[in-house]
Structure 1
Amino acid sequence: MNPEIPLYERDPEAWNAYLAEGNAKQARKRVGADVLIRDERGRVLLVDPRYKPDWDLPGGMAEANESPAAAARREIKEELGLDLQIGRLLVVDWVPPHGPWDDSLMFIFDGGTITKLLRPIDDEVDEVQFVTESEARDLLRPYVWRRLQAALTSPGYLEHGHCFADRESPQDGPQT
């Protein structure tokens, strides 16, 4: 065998076996995708899901083999009947394990500004409302508020809603 030729070209069966083993053993992350939508006054759109105690950004969990952007677009269409072009990525937030949930990656995409009056069309959502940032802070869970605040002010990578660059050292683990 020629070591200069990549394994996937030298032995495709061995390469596929290697990938299958990694796929079976490596961690899988839950992925959620939300969308930051504003109105012409700069207020933020929140939804009141029936299955959660607090308000949230519109969006939801990705299905198997679905990209975060595709999940965001699908969820907005399912919840609000809005066929929205998903914009640029604003935030990726790693969320540590909590309760029965493993860790996850949460994305926030820019949904732009809309002037249309929105109503929920899905049984999962009780109400939708454009709110000020101050109102959003009061309605959202603290780590979701931190995630939204980052999307509004300093997009980037977070860990549990905290800016990764603000950590003291890489081995500190997630902040609460």
Structure 2
Amino acid sequence: MTRLLLAALSAASLASLAGPAAAEVASRSENAFRLTFERPVTASPEAILAAAGRPAAWWSDAHTYSGSAANITVDLQPGGCWCEALPGGGVKHAETVLVWPGERMVMFEAPFGPLRGIGADAVLTMSWADPEGGAARTLKWTFVVNGPGAGAMADVIDGVTAEQFGRLVDHLGGAAGS
């Protein structure tokens, strides 16, 4: 199996095992870390999938190269680009590797920002589960990163990723009390 496939399967497995933490550096070593984020949202499965493909609606301008999240697009097809337009060019932040609406999951190979500079393998898995008797469903992100010295970056990347996750939850109508 390829390293990407192993990382993707690992991320999917870990996502199903993670506890109900709102945001957490779930594990860390010198060269790896795993972040987990989980919150209830009121949006439909279709709205969640649509929002995953439109980060310009919820991503922070402060965490872009161009200064504007409006320049970000995502093609939700395997091989699709999570890209940002720049004057005269652009940047590929991530690549879509899995879109599985029936399983309510989207996965990206996503060495965002400084992770690309260290040659890290990074997989962001977004999943959403139906509620058990409630109106809200659970939105979950699992971000698994492996690369030289990556563990030292976990807290900083956790902060940025937690902000983006929170902005998506707010966009999707975070459930009361979440």
TM-score (norm 1): 0.25
TM-score (norm 2): 0.25
**Structure with bigger RCO (C-alpha 8 Å, 6+ apart):** 2
Q: Which has the higher strand share?
A: 2
Between structure 1 and structure 2, the one with the greater Rg is 1
